[in-house]
Amino acid sequence: MLQRTLFLLLFSLAPVASSLSAEKCVLTGNWTNDLGSNMTIEAVGNKGSFNGTYYTAVSSTTKKIELSPLQGFQHPLNNRQPTFGFTVNWTFSDSTTVFVGQCFMDKEKEVLKTMWLLRLHADSIRNDWKATMIGTNTFTRLKLQE
C-alpha cells in the first residue's frame, strides 16, 4: 500500500519537475558579473535584437565611469539556452568591447557565460599589437534590495 502511494506521488510530481527544468533562459533583465559590473538588457525583439545599458565596475582609464549603451543579438532560433553577442560603446572612453556568450539554465538559475574583447584606442598602427584585451565574465541576475 505504502509502495503504491509513493509511486503515485512520484508519478504525479514528474510533470512539475520536468516543467521546472524546461524553463527557458531569458536575457531581458538586470545582471551583475564577477567584477561587480551591472547591465540591463531591454526586451528582445522577434528577430533577436536587443538594446541595453552597461555600468562597468572597472576601467582601463582614469576617466570617471559612466553608464554606456549596448546593442546586440540573441540567436533567433527558439533555443532554451540561446547564444548571443553584444557591443558596448563606452561613453567615457574611446574603447569598444564586444561580448559573446550563452544564456544557461544552471540548477534552475540563469547564468550568462561570456568572453569579451576590449579594444583600446591605439595612437598609431605600431601600437596595434597591445591594444586588445581578452577575458571572460559570468553574469547572474541582479537581486534588487528590498
Residues in contact with ligand BTN by CB under 6 A are: 33, 35, 37, 56, 58-61, 90, 93, 95, 97, 116, 118, 135, 137
The DSSP result for 91-121, as a single string, is: SSSS-EEEEEEEEEEETTEEEEEEEEEEEPP
Q: How far is the CB of 63 from ligand BTN (least distance, A)?
A: 8
Dihedral sign from CA coordinates of 145, 34, 120, 28: negative
Strands 109-119 and 96-106: antiparallel
Instruction: Identify the DSSP state of 7.
Output: H
Rg of the chain over Cα atoms, rounded to whole angstroms, equals 20
Whichever of 21 and 87 has its CB closer to ligand BTN, that residue is: 87
Q: In terms of CB distance, is 6 or 133 closer to ligand BTN?
A: 133
Shortest Å distance, C-beta 81 to ligand BTN: 22
Residue 89 CB, nearest distance to ligand BTN (Å)?
A: 10
Q: Which residue is nearest to ligand BTN (CB)?
A: 37
Q: Is the CB of residue 51 less than 8 Å from the CB of residue 61?
A: no
Q: Residue 73 or 116: which CB sits closer to ligand BTN?
A: 116
User: Minimum CB separation from ligand BTN for residue 117, in Å?
Assistant: 9
